[in-house]
Amino acid sequence: MRNFLIASTLSIASLWAADRFQPLNVKTGLWEQSVSITSNGQIPVPPDILAKLPPEERARIEARMNAQSAPKTRTRTDQGCLTQEDLNRGTLFNKEDNECSQKILESSSSRLQVQYDCRQGSLTSKILLSVQAITPELVKGTATTTVTSEGHSMTSKSDFSARWLSSSCGNKK
C-alpha cells in the first residue's frame, strides 16, 4: 500500500454517519510516520494458489514461508500528505476493497479505534486499529492484525507515530 498509514487511518471519516464519527483534531499537510511491525506465524497462502505453481516454485515458496514464521521486527519511515478532504471524506483506507467491513469502536477528537474484518477467498484478516492524537502535530497508535487461511495464521503488531512537518505537501501525495 503506497498511501501511508496515518493519512489512511485519518481519512475514514465519511465512511460512517456524522453522528458516529468525529475526525481527529490534527493539522493537514505533510506528515512523517515511523512504523515498527513485529510479526510471527506462517504466511497464509491458500492451497489452491500453491497447487497452481510448478513443483520447484512451490517448494521454494513453502521453504520461505517456514523460514519466515519466526518472530521478527522491521521498521520503516515514510512521508505522506494529509488533506482536509482526507479527513472529511474518507478516501484512502480500503477505498477499493469491497471485501472488508469496518466498525468504529471509538471516535473522538483525540481517539479513534476501528475494527476491520476482511475476506478474500479462504483468506481472512482481522485488524484492530487504535489511533491517538497526542497534539494536533503528533499522532501515535497501534494496529493488531491476524491473517488466517487453511489452518495457517500470521499475526502482527504495529506501533506507529506520526509527526506533522509542514502545511505544504510539496510533491507528496
pLDDT reported for residue 69: 64
pLDDT reported for residue 6: 42
- The span from the CA of 3 to the CA of 81, in Å, is 9
Q: CA angle, 153 as apex, 151 and 159 as ends, to 5°? A: 170
Phi and psi of 24, rounded to 5°? Answer: -65, 145
Residues 6+ apart with CB under 8 A from 57: none
Three cell numbers, residue 37: 511491525
Q: What is the DSSP letter of 14?
A: G
Residues 6+ apart with CB under 8 A from 115: 102, 103, 105, 126, 127, 128, 129
Write the pLDDT tens digit of every residue in 95-130.
445 678 878 888 888 988 888 898 888 788 999 989
On the question of pLDDT at 8 being above 50, the answer is: no
- The span from the CA of 139 to the CA of 34, in Å, is 11
On the question of pLDDT at 2 being above 60, the answer is: no
Three cell numbers, residue 111: 481517539
Write the pLDDT tens digit of every residue in 9-59.
444 333 434 456 788 889 999 999 999 998 877 666 767 777 788 888 878
> Does residue 85 or residue 25 have the better pLDDT?
25
pLDDT reported for residue 43: 64
